[in-house]
């Protein structure tokens, strides 16, 4: 084969490889919202849930993202651990991990919540998936000891696994009837708007810092 032909063949191969790499990088940045009814949009209409509104807000800021809802109403940290592997598909680049509220409402020991979240974070780290850990806070009526133990779970684990922490998923919404459904627990559509507004800068930082983010 002449030099010109070898050069042309090499050039075609190089361009093909570049095209394959480009294709592999193409497509939206994949985020999974993994949690309970707060993530699943309990009591809200189509498009009003947290993941839908987060996706819309990120796209409005110019990010090519896909935010999937892997929230299950009533889920505890034990239930989340049991379904983590199949609920977070391969190719996921960021998980917003939001669990623990139902553990607290049921009075489950904070040690169990800690153990389950620890295992989930370990599994996601093994899969090299970035995590934003969304914290929860215990209700005061459960007592000071329970409140102290439960509230410490989230910052402790974020530090252990070196993942981003959003201290309180319901920041600005908890205790605000105008932003909640009649049950006094779940956010209404306006409440979700505020949640998304407050968490958005943190999510944006994680997207831009992650491989393939923009």
CB 47 within 8 A of CB 31: no
Q: Which member of 36, 69, 103, 186 is catalytic?
A: 186
Of 23 and 7, more confident? 7
Q: Residue 197 sits in a domain of what CATH number?
A: 3.40.50.1110
Q: How open is the CA angle 91-155-64, to the nearest 5 degrees?
A: 30
| Residue 197, domain member (yes or no) | yes
Number of structural domains (the chain) is 1
| Residue 171, domain member (yes or no) | yes
| Residue 214, domain member (yes or no) | no
- The tally of CA atoms less than 13 A away on the side-chain side of residue 41 is 19
| Residue 176, domain member (yes or no) | yes
Task: Say if residue 144 is exposed, middle or buried (CB neighbours under 10 Å; 0-12, 13-18, 19+).
Answer: exposed
pLDDT one-digit tens code per residue, 183-197: 999 999 999 999 999
In what side-by-side order are the strands of the sheet with 130-134? 65-71, 29-35, 94-98, 130-134, 164-166
pLDDT band at 211 (very low <50, low <70, confident <90, very high): confident
63 annotated active-site: no
| 5 pLDDT more than 80 | no
| Residue 11, domain member (yes or no) | no
Residue ranges making up the domain that contains 94: 29-209
| 22 pLDDT more than 60 | no
| Residue 77, domain member (yes or no) | yes
| Residue 186, domain member (yes or no) | yes
| Residue 20, domain member (yes or no) | no
CB 68 within 8 A of CB 31: yes
pLDDT one-digit tens code per residue, 42-63: 999 999 999 999 999 999 999 9
CB 155 within 8 A of CB 165: yes
Q: Which member of 2, 23, 37, 103 is catalytic?
A: 37
186 annotated active-site: yes
pLDDT one-digit tens code per residue, 57-115: 999 999 999 999 999 999 999 999 999 999 999 999 999 999 999 999 999 999 999 99
Q: How far is CA 208 from CA 130, 160, 203, 212, in A?
A: 12, 23, 9, 8
């Amino acid at each position: 084969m002449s030099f010109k032909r070898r050069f042309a063949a090499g050039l075609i191969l190089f361009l093909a490889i570049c095209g394959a790499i480009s294709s592999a990088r193409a497509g939206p940045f994949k985020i999974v919202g993994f949690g309970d009814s707060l993530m699943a949009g309990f009591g809200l209409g189509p498009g009003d849930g947290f993941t839908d509104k987060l996706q819309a807000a990120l796209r409005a800021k110019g990010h090519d993202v896909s935010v999937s809802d892997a929230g299950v109403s009533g889920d505890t940290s034990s239930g989340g651990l049991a379904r983590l592997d199949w609920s977070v598909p391969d190719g996921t680049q960021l998980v917003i991990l939001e669990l623990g509220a139902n553990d607290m409402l049921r009075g489950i020991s904070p040690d169990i919540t800690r153990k389950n979240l620890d295992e989930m974070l370990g599994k996601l780290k093994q899969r090299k998936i970035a995590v934003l850990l969304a914290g929860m806070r215990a209700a005061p009526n459960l007592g000071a000891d329970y409140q102290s133990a439960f509230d410490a779970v989230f910052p402790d684990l974020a530090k252990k696994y070196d993942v981003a922490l959003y201290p309180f998923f319901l920041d600005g919404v908890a205790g605000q009837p105008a932003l909640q459904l009649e049950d006094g627990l779940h956010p209404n559509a306006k409440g979700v708007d505020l949640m998304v507004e407050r968490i958005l800068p943190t999510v944006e930082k994680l997207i831009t810092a992650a491989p393939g983010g923009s």
